Every structure is written in C-alpha cells, then in structure tokens.
Amino acid sequence: MDILLWLVPAGVVTVVAMLWVAWLGREGRGEVDRDVAVARLEKALQREHKGMVRQRPAVPRDRSTGIAVRPSRAARRPGA
C-alpha cells in the first residue's frame, strides 16, 4: 500500500486541474439567443453549397467477399 502513495500527488493535481478547467469553461461560451441561432441555421440551409452542385460519378462496388468462388457452369443438362 505504501508503494501507491506516490500516486496521490498526481491524482490531486489531476483532480484540481479538472475542476479548474470545468470552472473556466462555464463562462464565456458566447451563448447566442435561440431565435438568432434558428435564423442563422435557416439561412445556412437555404444557401447553395459547393458540394450539392456537382454530383460524383457512381463508383462500381467491389463485390469481393474475400472467399474464392468458382464460377457456375453456364449450361447444365436437365436430369444430370
């Protein structure tokens, strides 16, 4: 148990740092009025975006399953 006492200072410093950062993060977040945020979002959604103008060509899908499969026989005789 005595060997673990060297962890106490590091744990105390970590907890104090976490509390300090949490306290600093409470203020100054620059909260915006809800109506202003909704208006900005609406304006952004109505705008034309570069990615929406040009569509990418369809990429052929790789059908590989990682298992080697023999091709099926083209013609099978009935009754065989």
- Split at pLDDT 50, 70, 90, the class of 76 is low
Give residue limits of the domains in the chain. Answer: 1-26
Enter the DSSP assignment of 67: S
Q: Determine the longest span between alpha carbons in the chain, in angstroms.
A: 83
pLDDT digits (tens, 9 = 90+) for 34-73: 898 899 999 988 987 776 666 778 887 777 777 777 777 7
Check: pTM over 0.95? Answer yes or no: no
User: Helix (H, G, I), strand (E, B), or coil: what is residue 61?
Assistant: coil
Among 32, 30, 50, smallest CA distance to 41 is for 32
The whole-angstrom separation of Cα 14 and Cα 8 is 10
- Split at pLDDT 50, 70, 90, the class of 75 is low
Among 6, 10, 30, smallest CA distance to 18 is for 10
pLDDT digits (tens, 9 = 90+) for 45-55: 898 777 666 67
